[in-house]
Structure 1
Amino acid sequence: MEAAGAFRRTAIERSDQRVAWERTDQAFFAAGACHILAWVCRDTYPDRSIEVAAVRLAGELPVVHTYAVWGGWAFDHAGWNPEQQVLAVNAAFEGHPLERVSISTDLAEFCAEHHHRMPDRYWRDPIPRAREYMGRHLPPWT
């Protein structure tokens, strides 16, 4: 498992949505569209109490990674893994302690508050791509 930060976008990927879109699925959903993947995961399983969570550097305001959580498992670019492992890998990569934040807003409010892109701000609609990516990762309850 790799930390989300290992896939941070380059300057050209940040400025050109097509270039960002053309990255591998894992890179795309690790950095730049992790929040989209988290909400798609939650919405795909309405019968489960899936939470959206994020991490930020301790004492900082901006979140550095967003993911879905269910029963101690986290779903992000690396598939389903124990949440504690996701937190540890990302903290080790960042070289700083991380704070876990529970997200209780909807996607639009989250994007406005955290300066993230809504699905219509990508080069193409990322929701079908997120659904397809999720389909490659079986949830822990199967």
Structure 2
Amino acid sequence: MVVTASGVFRRTAVERADQRVSWERGDQAFFSSGACHVLAWTCRDFYPEQEIALAALYLGDFEHPLHVYARWGTWAFDASGWNPEAELLKVNSDFEGRPVREVETITSDLREFCEKHVHRQPHQYWADPTERARAYVGRYDPPWG
């Protein structure tokens, strides 16, 4: 799959206001914008034998992340599947028209991250997206073979 900037799938005002409308988007759109953090945590949990880290992209002076993804070595996993992390950073910078600010490694758990960055926890969605995220992660072959 080709790396696509998360901003391509930004939620509309209706999708932000109505969780069911947001939920009904296709998987790539849903996990690119609105549930990327759930997908990242699910990816890490899906491969407990691997040292998968979680990372957040920031844009400009924004206090909260633009996008969250899983990282393994030089590889990144998000709604575009597994791709070189450098490509993920480039497409997001190009789409936004400016460089993404430093990538931050996330060390908190999902609940703490959501509270700090005003993101929904899985139980706060129209339906819990965890199983949907597990199925999505399972579609992609990991880079370690």
Cα distance in 2 between the residues matched to 1:70 and 1:80? 9
Q: Which of the numbers 68, 72, 75 marks the counterpart of 1:73?
A: 75
Cα deviation digits, residues 39-76 of structure 1 (max 9, x gap): 00011111111000010113332110000000110000
TM-score normalised by structure 2 residue count: 0.96
TM-score (norm 1): 0.98
State the Cα deviation string for residues 69-107 of structure 1 (Å, max 9, x = none).
Answer: 001100000000000000000011011111211111000
| Residue identity in the other structure for 1:109 | E
Q: In the alignment, what sits opposite 1:122?
A: 125
Structure 2 counterpart SS, 1:43: helix
Letter of the aligned partner of 2:135 in structure 1?
E
Equivalences, count? 142
Among candidates 38, 63, 66, match of residue 65 of structure 2: 63
> Deviation at 1:2?
1.3
Runs of 4+ in 1 over 6 A off after TM superposition: none
The 3-state SS of whatever aligns with 1:111 is helix
* CA distances 1:3-37 after superposition (whole Å, capped 9, x unpaired): 00000000000000000000000000000000000
Aligned counterpart for 1:140 among listed residues 130, 140, 143: 143
Quick one: distance in 1 between partners of 2:65 and 2:73? 22
What's 1:103 paired with? 106
Q: Partner amino acid for 1:107?
A: L
